[in-house]
Amino acid sequence: MWACKNEGEDARLYQAVKACSEFAISLGINIPTGKDSLSMKQKYKDGEVIAPGTVIISAAGHCDDITAVVEPVLRKSGGAIYYINLSGDRYKLGGSSFAQILNKVGTETPDILDAGQFKTTFNTLQELIKAGKVQAGHDIGSGGLITTLLELCFADRNLGASLDLSALGDQDIIETLFAENIGIVFQADASAEAILKANGVVYHQIGTVNETAQLTVKNASGNWSFDIDHLRDVWFKTSYLLDEKQSGPVKAKERFDNYKNHVLNYSFPLNFDGKKPVIDAAKPRPKAAVLREKGSNSERELANAMYLAGFDVKDVHMTDLISGRETLEDIQFIGAVGGFSNSDVLGSAKGWAGAFLYNEKAKQALTNFFKREDTLSVGVCNGCQLFVELGLINEDHEEKPKMLHNDSAKHESIFTSLTIQENNSVMLSTLAGSTLGVWVSHGEGKFHLPYAEDQYHIVSKYAYETYPANPNGSDYNTAMISDQTGRHLVMMPHIERSLFQWHWANYPEGRKDEVSPWMEAFVNAREWIEKLAK
């Protein structure tokens, strides 16, 4: 974005494009397309404001193993902490966040001096990641090295590091910590050093991890100590202030007070071995269907969960039901998926429910399906809102449950944990007693349950009652309920998006599971149907 046709700006834009081009050519990558806005000047009655020229690059690359992920949180059991200055340049504060808080732009900005060296370092790091030698890592960008180091500690409790930056030179500590020279901090096995050396990569071992929430830094000119719990709050404060505007002071404060205390602690079922279900190819697969509407999502995830558990899965769109092409007569398990059916106009799943209520064939197909005793259903998120809206759960209650807007008055997207209650659900009863991680993403996930708790079959609750671990303020802290037969289950969290170890934002360390414990829910569904057939 550039304010062209203003004095000096076109020349600066030319320089920027040329530099990008030369850098891309020496890296051997191309910039296939560009989108520009060249009118970045705003005129007011009393003057003009020119936006600073900005280059924003979005990059995509081939990834051959999505499980080889390096996360930006130091591991208490991992190796030493290393630093590489990818820029190869001196530490310069021009254009940095540090300069900005002093209301300055600065004069000199850091560059990347040697594209060839940058490329070698990048490729060497990829090699180390593929060899499983890197336990944690974070780039250095906005806020400089100190921000990177702190952020590497924020996502855990009782985690800190002792750092010695003497090897980085004896320049001003402010420059060392706040310059935004592109670089990387990572934690790796000592054996990584030989590979770095062999590739001619200049690296510095700068410290070690410890279990106190302090970051201590020293160089030739002094020692400093930073309190991580305090700085985590400083770091979160901006989000808190934005939250105040969106959710109001009460919920914003609740999140601010709790975000660091809702530690994810799991309890996996004792018999869980992490293996993919073994499906007997000689047996026929029971038939399942994924129901979706315009605006649905996660249908592939749900279909995959059902398929891996041994179902023959069919894709059923509302148009199939409305036209009568699909009657669900030979289906035993349906899943209504998540998403934003009809763009949430008039409320989540209201239009979707209308499509069943006001289309005779669709209505008949679903009514018949729920009347049969050999059927199971699961409604996930938008699908939960659908089945609740249609009154299919607690059918005998005069006043039915309702799904309301989250207490925070906004869409909540988090990775949280759930405890499974003793319950009657075909899918989840065997998991009772477990606490598992799960994705949540909804704006209207608050179960409004008008009667006493014992009038409901609550299958699962959020592991913490308070916001944000409970993202919506549900009555009785409810995340999932089932009907009285246990055959029909509705849930706001997305277990179908939490099916593999690599789906989870946080998984117990040291495991290499093919599936997460949630897989059992889908296997239970298949086994129930098979037992019925006998």
Ligand X SMILES: NC(=O)CC[C@H](N)C(=O)O
Cβ neighbors of 281 (< 8 A, separation 6 or more) are none
Check: CB of residue 125 under 8 Å from CB of residue 186: yes
Tokens for 383? 């699908």
Q: Considering only residues 2, 154, 333, 340, which one is a binding residue for ligand X as defined by CB under 6 A?
A: 340
294 binds ligand X (CB under 6 A): no
Site for ligand X in 393-422 (CB under 6 A): 411
Query: Helix (H, G, I), strand (E, B), or coil: what is residue 82?
Result: strand
Tokens for 210? 């410890």
471 binds ligand X (CB under 6 A): no
Taking CB under 6 A as the binding criterion, the range among 48-56, 274-282, 438-446, 506-514 that sits at the site for ligand X is 438-446
- Is 111 or 475 the residue whose CB approaches ligand X more closely? 475
441 binds ligand X (CB under 6 A): yes
442 binds ligand X (CB under 6 A): yes
Q: Which residues pair with 223 in a beta bridge?
A: 218
To ligand X, the closest distance from the beta carbon of 440 in angstroms equals: 8
Quick count: other Cβ atoms within 10 Å of Cβ 39? Answer: 12
Catalytic residue among 299, 496, 503, 520: 496
- Is 382 or 470 the residue whose CB approaches ligand X more closely? 382
Rounded CA separation 101/3 (Å): 24
By CB atoms closer than 10 A (0-12, 13-18, 19+), residue 49 is: exposed
Taking CB under 6 A as the binding criterion, the range among 82-90, 113-121, 141-149, 334-342 that sits at the site for ligand X is 334-342
Cα-based distances in Å from 13 to 5, 467, 532: 10, 47, 71
Check: CB of residue 440 under 8 Å from CB of residue 520: no
Count of positions on this chain that bind ligand X (CB under 6 A): 13
Catalytic residue among 153, 254, 301, 381: 381
Cα-based distances in Å from 309 to 486, 491, 511, 534: 19, 19, 21, 19
Q: Considering only residues 144, 160, 437, 443, which one is a binding residue for ligand X as defined by CB under 6 A?
A: 443
Radius of gyration of the chain (CA): 27
Taking CB under 6 A as the binding criterion, the range among 61-69, 91-99, 436-444, 463-471 that sits at the site for ligand X is 436-444
- Is 318 or 381 the residue whose CB approaches ligand X more closely? 381
434 binds ligand X (CB under 6 A): no
- Catalytic residue list contains 527: no
- Is 78 or 339 the residue whose CB approaches ligand X more closely? 339
Long-range CB contacts (within 8 A, 24+) of 251-260: 251/407, 251/408, 251/409, 251/467, 254/466, 254/467, 254/468, 255/408, 255/467, 255/468, 258/464, 258/466, 258/467, 258/468, 258/469, 259/468, 260/157, 260/229, 260/232, 260/233, 260/236
Residue with tokens 């660091």: 260
- Catalytic residue list contains 411: no
- Catalytic residue list contains 395: no
Q: Considering only residues 201, 381, 418, 523, which one is a binding residue for ligand X as defined by CB under 6 A?
A: 381
- Is 254 or 444 the residue whose CB approaches ligand X more closely? 444
To ligand X, the closest distance from the beta carbon of 378 in angstroms equals: 13
382 binds ligand X (CB under 6 A): yes
Q: Considering only residues 9, 156, 344, 407, which one is a binding residue for ligand X as defined by CB under 6 A?
A: 344
Q: Which residues pair with 404 in a beta bridge?
A: 446
- Is 340 or 369 the residue whose CB approaches ligand X more closely? 340
Residues at the site binding ligand X, with contacts judged by CB under 6 A: 338-340, 344, 348, 381-382, 411, 441-445
Q: What is the set of active-site residues?
A: 381, 494, 496
